[in-house]
Structure 1
Amino acid sequence: MPAQPSIHHQPASEEYYFHEGCYILELLNSDTQPELSIARATVRPGVTTRWHQLEGITERYVIQQGSGRVEVGELQQAVSAGSVVVIPPGCRQRITNTGEADLVFLALCLPRFVPDAYVDLEKSTD
């Protein structure tokens, strides 16, 4: 049977803090659509997320608002609204909010994000 059209809505109340250092709202992440997940990430001013990588997943950041500095592998680059960052599988990454307002971006993962793919590259301080 061919796929059917669908529309998804996620209330803002579903946003949660992720230990990486950002707030996440999962807009689309379902095992019935394994080819893609979409999340909205928010990084507060002055915050740098933890070094991490995703195994077997290509991730794309689409910056919607704010400004920051992304580090992907050895590349460091300023980003702002309209920037698109492509992160290959297994590539270390982090992002810093260098502005005075929230840095907000969409994180598109192909295939979809699953927690087992996330690798924290920093030692825990807990």
Structure 2
Amino acid sequence: MKSTVIRTAEQEEYLHPRHDRFFLRDVVTAELNPALSLHRGRIEAGGEIRPHVHEGQTETFYILGGEAICTVNGVEHRFGAGCCVVAPPGANHSLKNIGDEPVDLLAIFTPPLK
């Protein structure tokens, strides 16, 4: 496998079809790295990633900026830049923007989601 340079600003951003005001870029997919997928996300003010479960992946997300409430299996956590959450397979989780600025994040799935 050869090295690859990715510039996320050049990637297509899309609105996630099941969440509210949540935009994504698929930075790294299984095609580039069979061990994981990496996604750059942005939750606009008032938006949220609705409660959901991944049966086959662990989702690790790292907050780059903004303020959010993350709920994992019914337990709420308030956090901002520099916080990280690991949701193992089967964990019900959600993330809601509670500030006036976008929440920027990285989401890593192992094994890859895409």
TM > 0.5 fold call:
yes
Aligned to 1:89: 89
Query: Alignment partner of 2:49: what SS?
Result: coil
Equivalent AA in structure 2 for residue 96 of structure 1? K
Task: Identify unmatched segments of 5+ residues in structure 2.
Answer: none
Aligned ranges 1:23-102 → 2 under 5 Å: 23-102=23-102
Shift of 1:47: 1.6
Shift in CA distance, 12/102, structure 1 to aligned 2, threshold 3 Å: farther
Shift in CA distance, 31/5, structure 1 to aligned 2, threshold 3 Å: closer
Equivalent AA in structure 2 for residue 51 of structure 1? P
Residues 89-115 of structure 1: per-residue CA shift (max 9 Å, x gap):
11111111000000010001111113x
Task: Identify unmatched segments of 5+ residues in structure 1.
Answer: 115-126
Cα root mean square deviation, aligned: 1.5
Q: Is the Cα–Cα contact under 8 Å of residues 16 and 23 in structure 1 kept in the other structure?
A: yes
Percent identical among aligned pairs is 26
Runs of at least 4 residues off by over 4 Å: none
Normalising by structure 1, what TM-score? 0.81
Q: Tell me the distance in 1 between the aligned counterparts of 2:8 and 2:103.
A: 20
Normalising by structure 2, what TM-score? 0.89
